[in-house]
Structure formats: C-alpha cells, structure tokens
C-alpha cells in the first residue's frame, strides 16, 4: 500500500484518526436555511453577508481555505486585507438569489488544487485583488442585467487589470493526525510593490450562547520568544497549540454577536466577532482584548511584497505543547514528503498513460470533491422550537419549511455539491459524488449512503430528505444505483466485497421503494409522478406544484427512474443471494415489478396511460386532465431519454446459480406474455448467452438513439443536451385558460424565474444525466455486442457500436476541460484571462452545467460534486486506451 492507503487503513481500524481534521469549514454559512429564523423562510435576507462578520452562527462556521475538527469546535482559516477594502476578507462574497440576474452566485476566484482522502496534504488558491473589492459594483451590475444577459462577474469589473492582485496559496500537511503544518505563500502578480495584511485566524464555534450548560473555551498567549504560541482549550476537544512564525501582532476578541452594530442594543461582551476587523480595517484600538485572551484569535502579519515576489508565512496547529523547532528543516521536509506521497497515491489510483493536462484536470477534480466535505449540523427539532436563552422562533415556523422533518438530526461530515452555492447535502447529487469518491476513499463514500438512509435522516415512512431548502421535495431515486456501483468499484480497486454495507443499505431502500410506490403512483397503475425530480425547469411548468390545468402529470422520467430503481434493487438482491438464498424471493419481486412498470410506460396494458409516442419515436410526460383525457406534452427533453437508464443485463451463470429466481422468471415469461412483448428480451440470448431487461428495446432503442445522436437535436460537441435544439426554431406551446406556456431551447442560463432561475435544464449539458447515458450504453453493448451499430452522429454515415458511442460521448464531456489544438478550454469560452494567462490557464473550475452549443461553464462554479464525475471518466478513458479501446 502507498503511505496514504496505510493512513486510510489506520483510520478504518481506528488506530489513528487521520480524518479528525479536514477542510470541513463551510464557505458560506450565512443565508442558509439553518441560520434562518425569519417568519416566512427568507433565508438570504434574514442572515446576510453584511451581517456575517458581526453575527455568530448557530449551526456552523465559514471561512476561506479553512479547516476544523470533525465536530467543528475549533476552526482555522485565513483572513486578508489589502489596505483598501472597507472590511477584512474573512469569507467569500456572492449574490443572493434575489440579487443575481440568474440567482445566487459566488463572485470570487478560488481553486482547489490538491487534497488526499485523509487530508494529509491539501492545497488551494485564492486570488485577492489589490484594490478595494467591488462589492457594490457586483450587486449593481447584476441588478441592471436582464435574464437574457450573462452574469456580471468579478473579471468584468476589471479589478484584475494589469495583474493587480495577489495569488494566495494555502497548504496543509499533517505530521500526525493532530499535528498540522500550515503554509501560506503570497505572490504579488502586479507591477508595483503592495502591502498585504495576512491574518491566519483561529476561533471556537460559539456553542455556549445556545447551550447554557456548555462551558466556554478560551484562547490565550503562552509564549512569544522565538515564535508565538497560543493555547486553545476546549472542554470536549481538549487543548491545542497554534505556533506562529515571528513577525506578527497577536489579536484577540470573542466570537460573540455585535448586537450594538446590528440591532442597536448593548453587547454581552466588550469584545465581539468583528473586533479584529474593526481593529485592522477601521483602526479601532479598543476593539481587541489587550489582556490577550478570547475565543477568536488572529496573528496579524503586514507583508510588503515586491512585484513578482512571493512571501511565505508558516504556522503549526498541534496537540503538542512544546514543539522545540516547529519551523525547522523537518517542516520543509514533511511538506515535500506529503506532496510526494499524494503523487504516489494518485499514481496508484490511475496508473494508465495520459497527458499532463488530463492528469491535472483529474487531480483538481478529486481535490474539489475532497475540499467540498463539510461539517453539516442541523437538528430540525431544535431549529423549530428554538434554544433556551434565545428569542423564540416565530410561530409561522411551525407551519413552514421542513416542519414534518422534526426527527432529522445531522451532525456529520458530508459531501456537499458546492460549499458556497450549495452548502448543504442534496440526496441525488450525493449519489453521483460517490462514483469518483469511492475510487479514492471507499469508507467515506459508503458512510454517505449509510447516513442518508439512517433513521435520523430518513422519514419513518421511508422518504429520503431531498435537500435543506425543502427536505420534502422529491429527487430521483438513484441511491440503489449508487450503492451497487460503490460496492462494485470498491471490489474492483481494492478487492473488498463489503456485503454488510450493501445489505444494510438495501434494507433501508426497501422502505424508500415502498414510499415511492405508495405516494407517487396516483392511479395505482405503475406510472409515476414525483414532481420536478431534480430537473428544475425542464417541464412546461413547475412539475412540483399544482398544475394550472388541474389533474396530475404522468412523468416519463419518474416512471423510468422507478424502472431503474427496480433493476438496481434486483441486481443487489441477486448479489446478496449468492450467500443467502432468501434474497432470491425479493429479486423475483423486483423482476415482476419492473415488468409491470415497463408495460405501463408504453401503455401496453392500458393505452390511455402510454407515455411512448410512436409517431415521434420518443417518450413524453402527459397531463392527466380531470375529465380523464391524457394530453402528451411534446417536449423533446432529457425526460424522454431517461427510459434508457432502466436497463440491466443478466449473465447466464447468474440465472443458473439461482434456480428459484430462474423458475419464477420463466413462469412470468410463459404465463404473462403480455408483459414482455416490447419490454425485455428474456428468451433470446445475447452476447455470451446474456439476457436483457430494459424498458427500451429493439426498434424503440434505435429511434431514441437516432434523435439523441443527432447534432441538430441532443448531440452537442460537448455532450447530450437536456432539451433538443429542435425547440430553438420550434418552441413548444401549451395554451391554458388565461395563460400560454412556452418551452424554448435555451443553451445557457435560464431566462425565467422558475425554480429561482439559478439553474437551467432547457438546453445545457449536465454531467450526471450524461454519465447515466454512458453507463446505459455500456449495458446495451454488453448484450448486443459488436453486431449492433448505429449512425453516430446521425446523418454522418459513420456506424458505431454502442461501446464506441459511449466512449465518444465520454470524450466529448472530458474535452470540455481540456485544451484543444488552439490551447483553449471550451468551459472558459471567451474568457481570455482563463484561456491565455499563465497564472490562470491551468486552474480548473467545475461548473454546475455547460452551454449546450459552445460548452462554456454555467451556474455554480465549484460544483465539483457531480461534475467531479469527470475524474471517473478520465480514469475510464485512460483504461480503455490502455486496453486498446
């Protein structure tokens, strides 16, 4: 094993807690649901960025390039001041949902450059302007733009003109699980000398104001000879010591709310959360504690940095009280060693030949996934009822958001979609995070699914929490797929079959499957609804709300997701049956249920509910109107491609191994021929005598692929679009009494306010749904083999096997990030700074989604979560090349 794998093993065996400290600090705690105690759920307005420097948080902390312990008792991050800003740069700035012309959006430039699963080595970069940060200009610039215009970004302000900025590199290296070396290197990219105030900050999360029985911790000076040492003592964490390289002033205050500034009432403490800010940026000498004790501390370095010069400050956070030489030769050697070990670990993960550009993209994708781990604390019962010694929440809260989730108790390290824009878990996002995460840290990947299905997350009725903004919303049921893939990938890379994990999650998902069947099949006909299902504005109208026409919506995607769910549960049951034949029975149950769903979606048994349109060769959602008529909503969208996902291939040896399952399967084939007509080829052997279960088969498969691979419809140079480009010239229109509803092809940002307007499924490219298409194509190829070919792209005359189509699609997605022949990365479009500047061009942002025509990055800029799937794609592509594929 590599040294990093040894550390992972030690953490797994609980002989050394290498993961106790990590990048668990949020990048935005303000404006979240957890911190919202307003009457009507206006989280962004209730706790704003303007308040965040002065107001303590209840449920977590935020900072720049920060770390904390796994319960976020003690936090460390950097703060900066360029001498011109009105406030310290202690946290990242961005627009709230109501301020941005395309919803909430971070307006900073920062990059996750490296990280290992135990966080033994971490590195990130923050780009800090030398002139006053343009807070007001960013707000005003976006306010003055319509939804038909792009967002007004930080580069648009010209704040980085003539390279007037600092590159601030923050690195961490662990000497032991509790001894963390910290290095901050600041490079002046401008042409003039400039002073930067660097304030490495250590503070305790305020728990004492919310719990009267909680003992208050403290930080104080213990030494100032060759270097400064401060002691941080906490009643449950114990004591840590922060060693600071000489040359700084030591500033102390308390992590207490500044009630006087915010609300005009007296403060409980003379020293408050923004005391260090007021001392440095406002010159208020009495704002910090001259006794040099408190619950928040910063070492204040004033660095004059010449043009092109880099200055480095070193610190050390340790459980050792007397480190004789904290910054000696060992310090540099350890950083070099941990970097080398990180290279060795990722070389073991991906030993295949690839370009340096690919390796750089993959490394930053893995880094982003690991940096996006966050301490997530939310006890809904306490949030609803309020805390002792605090003002009671408004009574409207009891009838508002998440009231039916009072059982939910979260205090875990979870994988976040984006630590600024989405600093909360999302059930279906999380499933996709696990595919690259399991490659590098199977234990963490499994823990994520384990938590999500635990009784303190999952509703007693079996529903899984969707996401913090509304736990009761419904996300696609992809957890069974994720559990199976995690199990399989761990076996492939590490040779371990964690059947206990698979069994535990399977039992909980049985409850969730039952919830879907009982709650989301209105007519009891195996055609499902589900609501928006994570696809936000893809529908003609908001699919999660009451329909303007009355009635309900039969959803092609909802029904297909359930078909996929059946097949994933079938596959898991057969795997578990290898050691416990009682699972054969439940496998038969899911086989049967799948046939009923596949029959229903095509309307074979009841033509009145068919979602397949034979004239168009496509699946559509359909309005079930109150008087009984069904109206297909003929939008060519991802909704009609999701039926491809419901596919699995059964090996002949699997059928022979389970005679009970095979017997019951054959009974259905013989006695219910109506259920297999165009559903699944269970009698005709495929390649290697395999058998296929699929919603889409034969002529239907060819017709759907013909549309999907048409470059004038779905097949962009950069992946599969969420809506066909056909709708650019042919918008879909639904006339309702008093209003008309339109769906256009919109390849970039949303031009409507549907779902807040901060994401768009009406044309752009989204990684998660593309990834599942690739997996489905591989499944189909494993059955049909090389004899089954389609034209790709449609109309090109070029015939490809489905394996070759899957690989081609994967290459198109990866190419979004790669430099092309002209040295340009498609995701950066016309951003010349990112395309050509040597200090920008090799840093990668992993956007939420991508322009349907030119591939430029859109939406949240750090959603390494599911866009981090590119790390897995690069690995798969490299493996295929090495195997001659």
Query: DSSP character for 525?
Result: S
Give pLDDT, residue 687: 66
Which residues, in sequence order, are CB contacts of 663 under 8 Å at separation 6+? none
CA distance 542 to 522: 18
> DSSP secondary structure string, 640-693?
GTGGGG-EEEE-HHHHHH-HHHHHHHHHHHHH-GGGSSSS--SSS--GGG-EEE
- Is the pLDDT at 679 greater than 50? The verdict is no
| Average pLDDT estimate for 572-598 | 94
Asked if residue 407 lies in contact with residue 456, where contact means CB atoms within 8 angstroms, the answer is: yes
Asked if residue 11 lies in contact with residue 443, where contact means CB atoms within 8 angstroms, the answer is: yes
Band (pLDDT 50/70/90 cuts) for residue 208 is: very high
Percent of the chain with pLDDT over 90: 86
CA distance 767 to 779: 19
Partners of 375 in the β-ladder: 413
40-53 pLDDT, tens digit per residue, is 889 999 999 999 99
Return the number of other C-beta atoms located less than 10 Å from residue 60's C-beta: 23
* C-alpha dihedral sign at 403, 408, 410, 414: negative
751-773 pLDDT, tens digit per residue, is 988 877 789 999 999 999 999 99
Give pLDDT, residue 676: 64
- The residue whose two tokens read 């000497």 is 175
The lowest-confidence range among 126-140, 296-310, 316-330, 602-616 is 602-616
- Is the pLDDT at 134 greater than 90? The verdict is yes
Positions of E strands within 225-292: 228-234, 238-244, 249-253
Asked if residue 674 lies in contact with residue 587, where contact means CB atoms within 8 angstroms, the answer is: no
CA distance 768 to 484: 16
- Is the pLDDT at 435 greater than 90? The verdict is yes
In angstroms and rounded to an integer, the radius of gyration of the C-alpha atoms of the chain is: 28
Alpha carbon dihedral 365, 366, 370, 376, in 10-degree steps, equals 60
Which residues, in sequence order, are CB contacts of 157 under 8 Å at separation 6+? 134, 137, 138, 141
380-420 pLDDT, tens digit per residue, is 999 999 998 888 899 998 899 999 999 999 999 999 999 99
Q: What share of the chain is helix, strand, coil (3-state, %, to 5)?
A: 35, 20, 40
Asked if residue 583 lies in contact with residue 528, where contact means CB atoms within 8 angstroms, the answer is: no
Pick left, alpha or beta for residue 463 (phi over 0 → left; psi -120 to 50 → alpha; otherwise beta).
beta
Asked if residue 743 lies in contact with residue 635, where contact means CB atoms within 8 angstroms, the answer is: yes
Question: If 0-12 CB within 10 Å is exposed, 13-18 middle and 19+ buried, where does residue 706 land?
Answer: middle
What separation in angstroms does the CA of 411 have from each of 32, 63, 402, 451? 16, 19, 17, 10
Give pLDDT, residue 816: 98
149-171 pLDDT, tens digit per residue, is 999 999 999 999 999 999 999 99
Partners of 186 in the β-ladder: 168, 311
Task: Write b or e for each residue in 402-432: b if 16 or more Cβ atoms lie within 10 A of its Cβ, otherwise e.
Answer: beebeebbbebbbbbbbbbbbbbbbbbbbbb
> DSSP secondary structure string, 447-489?
HHHHHHTSTTTS-TTSPPP-BTT-TTS-----HHHHHHHHHHH
Q: Which residue has the higher pLDDT, 365 or 659?
A: 365
Token pair for 265: 């009432």
Asked if residue 529 lies in contact with residue 554, where contact means CB atoms within 8 angstroms, the answer is: yes
Give pLDDT, residue 466: 96
- Omega before residue 793 within 30° of 0, cis: yes
Which residues, in sequence order, are CB contacts of 134 under 8 Å at separation 6+? 154, 157, 159
Pick left, alpha or beta for residue 607 (phi over 0 → left; psi -120 to 50 → alpha; otherwise beta).
alpha
Asked if residue 416 lies in contact with residue 397, where contact means CB atoms within 8 angstroms, the answer is: no
What separation in angstroms does the CA of 441 have from each of 444, 446, 662, 846, 873? 6, 9, 36, 20, 17
The lowest-confidence range among 127-141, 565-579, 624-638, 660-674 is 660-674
Asked if residue 748 lies in contact with residue 858, where contact means CB atoms within 8 angstroms, the answer is: yes
CA distance 798 to 172: 51
| Average pLDDT estimate for 84-92 | 98
Give pLDDT, residue 283: 97
Give pLDDT, residue 496: 94
Asked if residue 394 lies in contact with residue 39, where contact means CB atoms within 8 angstroms, the answer is: yes
Q: Which phi and psi (to 5°) does residue 725 adopt?
A: -65, -15
Give pLDDT, residue 628: 79
| Average pLDDT estimate for 595-603 | 90
Token pair for 121: 């080595």
Partners of 492 in the β-ladder: none
CA distance 870 to 717: 16
- Is the pLDDT at 688 greater than 70? The verdict is no
Give pLDDT, residue 360: 98
Helices 767-784 and 869-882, axial angle in degrees (round to 10): 30
Asked if residue 128 lies in contact with residue 64, where contact means CB atoms within 8 angstroms, the answer is: no
- Mean pLDDT, the chain, whole residue set: 94
Token pair for 463: 């529903």
Question: If 0-12 CB within 10 Å is exposed, 13-18 middle and 19+ buried, where does residue 111 land?
Answer: buried
Asked if residue 368 lies in contact with residue 868, where contact means CB atoms within 8 angstroms, the answer is: yes
Taking the whole predicted model, whether its pTM rises above 0.95 is answered as yes
């Amino acid at each position: 094993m590599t040294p990093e794998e040894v550390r992972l093993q030690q953490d797994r065996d609980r002989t050394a807690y290498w993961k106790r400290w990590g990048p668990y600090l949020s990048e935005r705690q303000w404006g979240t649901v957890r911190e919202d105690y307003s009457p009507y759920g206006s989280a962004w307005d209730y706790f704003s960025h303007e308040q965040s420097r002065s107001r303590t948080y209840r449920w977590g902390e935020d900072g720049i390039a920060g770390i904390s312990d796994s319960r976020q008792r003690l936090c460390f991050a950097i703060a900066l001041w360029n001498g011109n800003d009105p406030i310290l740069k202690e946290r990242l700035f961005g627009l709230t949902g109501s301020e941005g012309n395309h919803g909430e959006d971070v307006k900073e430039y920062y990059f996750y450059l490296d990280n290992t699963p135990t966080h033994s080595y971490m590195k990130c970069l923050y780009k800090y302007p030398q002139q006053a940060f343009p807070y007001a200009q960013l707000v005003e610039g976006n306010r003055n733009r319509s939804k038909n215009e792009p967002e007004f970004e930080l580069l648009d302000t010209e704040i980085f003109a003539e390279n007037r900025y600092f590159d601030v590199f923050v690195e961490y290296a662990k000497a032991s699980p509790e001894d963390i070396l910290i290095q901050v290197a600041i490079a002046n990219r401008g042409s003039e000398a400039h002073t930067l105030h660097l304030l490495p900050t250590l503070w305790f999360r305020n728990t004492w104001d919310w719990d009267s029985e909680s003992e208050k911790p403290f930080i104080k000076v213990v030494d100032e000879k060759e270097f400064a040492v401060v002691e941080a003592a906490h009643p449950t964490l114990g004591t840590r010591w922060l060693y600071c390289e000489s040359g700084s002033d030591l500033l102390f205050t308390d992590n207490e709310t500044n009630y006087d500034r915010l609300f005009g009432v007296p403060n409980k403490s003379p020293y408050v959360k923004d005391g260090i800010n007021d001392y440095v940026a406002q010159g208020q000498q009495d704002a910090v504690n001259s006794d040099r004790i408190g619950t928040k501390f910063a070492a204040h370095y004033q660095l004059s940095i010449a043009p092109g010069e880099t200055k480095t400050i070193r610190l050390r956070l340790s459980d050792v009280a007397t480190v004789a030489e904290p910054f000696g030769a060992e310090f540099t050697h350890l950083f070099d060693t941990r970097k080398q070990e990180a290279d060795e670990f990722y070389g073991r993960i991906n030993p295949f030949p690839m370009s340096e550009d690919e390796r750089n993209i993959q490394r930053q994708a893995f880094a982003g996934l690991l940096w996006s781990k966050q301490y997530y604390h939310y006890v809904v019962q306490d949030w609803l009822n309020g805390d002792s010694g605090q003002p009671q929440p408004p009574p409207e809260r009891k009838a508002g958001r998440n009231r039916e989730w009072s059982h939910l108790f979260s205090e875990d390290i979870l994988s976040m979609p984006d630590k600024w824009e989405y600093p909360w878990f999302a059930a279906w996002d999380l499933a996709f995070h696990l595919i690259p995460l399991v490659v590098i840290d199977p234990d963490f990947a499994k823990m994520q699914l384990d938590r999500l299905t635990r009784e303190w997350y999952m509703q007693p009725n079996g529903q899984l929490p969707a996401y913090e903004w509304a736990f009761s919303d419904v996300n696609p049921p992809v957890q069974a797929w994720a559990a199976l893939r995690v199990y399989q990938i761990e076996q492939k890379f590490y040779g371990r079959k964690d059947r206990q994990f698979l069994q535990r999650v399977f039992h909980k998902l049985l409850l969730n499957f039952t919830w879907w069947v009982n709650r989301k099949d209105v007519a009891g006909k195996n055609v499902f609804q589900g609501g928006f299902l994570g696809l936000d504005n893809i529908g003609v109208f908001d699919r999660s709300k009451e329909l303007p026409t009355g009635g309900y919506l039969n959803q092609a995607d909802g029904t297909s997701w359930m078909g996929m769910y059946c097949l994933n549960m079938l596959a898991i049951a057969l795997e578990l049956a290898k050691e416990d034949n009682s699972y054969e029975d439940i496998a038969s149950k899911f086989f049967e249920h799948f046939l009923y769903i596949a029959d229903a979606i095509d309307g074979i048994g009841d033509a009145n509910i068919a979602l397949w349109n034979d004239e168009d060769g496509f699946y559509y959602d359909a309005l079930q109107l109150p008087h009984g008529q069904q109206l297909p909503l003929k939008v060519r969208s991802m909704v009609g491609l999701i039926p491809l996902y419901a596919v699995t291939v059964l090996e002949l040896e699997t059928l022979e191994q389970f005679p009970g399952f095979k017997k019951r399967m054959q009974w259905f084939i013989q006695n219910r021929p109506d259920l297999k007509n165009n559903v699944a080829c269970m009698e005709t052997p495929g390649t290697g005598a395999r058998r296929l279960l699929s919603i889409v088969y034969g002529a239907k498969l060819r017709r759907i692929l013909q549309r999907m691979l048409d470059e004038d419809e779905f097949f962009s140079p950069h992946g599969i679009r969420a809506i066909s480009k056909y709708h650019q010239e042919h918008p879909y229109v639904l006339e309702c009494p008093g209003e008309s509803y339109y769906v256009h092809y919109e390849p970039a940002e949303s031009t409507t306010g549907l779902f807040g307007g901060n994401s768009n499924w009406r044309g752009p490219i989204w990684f998660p749904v593309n990834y599942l298409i690739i997996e489905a194509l591989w499944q189909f190829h494993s059955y049909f083999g090389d004899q089954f070919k389609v034209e790709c792209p449609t109309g090109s005359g070029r015939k490809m096997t489905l394996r070759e189509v899957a690989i081609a699609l994967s290459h198109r997605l990866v190419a979004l990030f790669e430099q092309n022949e002209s040295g340009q990365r498609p995701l950066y479009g016309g951003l010349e700074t990112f395309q050509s500047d040597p200090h920008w061009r090799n840093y990668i942002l992993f956007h939420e989604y991508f322009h349907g025509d030119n591939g430029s990055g859109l939406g949240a800029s750090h959603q390494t979560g599911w866009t981090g799937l590119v790390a897995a794609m690069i690995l798969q592509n490299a493996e295929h090349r090495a195997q001659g594929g």
